[in-house]
Amino acid sequence: MANCVRCGRQLPPFSFKRICQWCVQHEAAQRGEEIENAPQPVIAAPWTRRESTITLTQVLFGANVAVFVAMIAAAGSLDFPGQIAVHFGANFGPYTLTGEWWRLVTYMFLHGGVMHIFFNMWCLWDLGRLCESLYGRWTYAAIYFTTGIAGGLGSLVWNPQTLTVGASGAIFGLAGALIASFYLGEFSLPRIAISGTLRSLLVFAVFNLFIGGFFGGVDNACHIGGLVSGLGLGAAIARVAPHSEPRRVGLFVAAAILLAGGAAGLAHHHNLPLLFGRSPFER
């Protein structure tokens, strides 16, 4: 599709003109050839960025629900056996540590039951929207996946033989990042709003860690890994890169290197070769 040679706006399809109607009318008005109060056509400027109305939180929410529906279809019930979870990408030490590192990402989109996904999506909807509105889309995405991976590694440190599924590691990571950012005063918000939200986040983190310690089947190691990494990322962003995107990119690259080093060290600790690809245990 051709563009206007004056302003760069897109011309209509199959147009043989080189100047858009906006520029034609605008130049005519400047020469005094346009009648007074003539309506000016509204054409989007080429430099105007069109933001999608779909938020990243909605995308993550939808992906989690879609995977849950697929798991129901595969299992034929709401009770998922371990084999189904492993097939869909659960974080499981014998497979993850022997080459299937992608499980540190896929496990975040799996859930073990209706109440599990209901509670996690409720928390993601609230914390995700807050985090996305304050940090922006790409920083929010980087925090979510970085802390989710950190939570998965934390689970492997403490429970390498246990299947881990759920978005809670990343959700705790969002909570940790917001706690650090609010405490260090990164966001220009009223003090009363900051103190109230900070108090709610602290109650959320402490209460859920406390509950997780008393109920079986709750992977608190994953929660702690996500929370601690979120606190670290939130503090680093607030102190080093509160308004600098290049510095934020550097922080997340450094975090990725640390996570990769931690994964390699964990494999070495278990006397496993550092492999990439399909685990030999699955062959």
Q: How far is CA 244 from the centre of its chain?
A: 19
| SS (HEC) of 151-212 | HHHHHHHHCCCCCECCCHHHHHHHHHHHHHHHHCCCCCCCHHHHHHHHHHHHHHHHHHHHHH
Residue 197 vs residues 127, 182, 234: alpha-carbon distances, Å: 11, 8, 15
168 carries an active-site annotation: yes
As a whole number of angstroms, the distance between CA 121 and CA 217 comes to 18
Rounded to 10 degrees, what is the CA torsion of 106, 107, 113, 117? -80
Which DSSP category does 281 fall into? G
Token digits for 267?
A: 């494999």
223 carries an active-site annotation: yes
Which among 59, 52, 116 is positioned nearest to 85, based on CA atoms? 116
Residue 69 exposure: Cα atoms within 13 Å on the Cβ side: 6
Which residue do the tokens 């309506």 mark?
39
Please tell me which residue in 111, 155, 181, 223 is annotated as part of the active site. 223
As a whole number of angstroms, the distance between CA 38 and CA 34 comes to 7
As a whole number of angstroms, the distance between CA 241 and CA 135 comes to 11
Backbone angles phi, psi at 139, to 5 degrees: -65, -40
Please tell me which residue in 155, 168, 181, 279 is annotated as part of the active site. 168
- So which residues are the catalytic ones? 168, 223
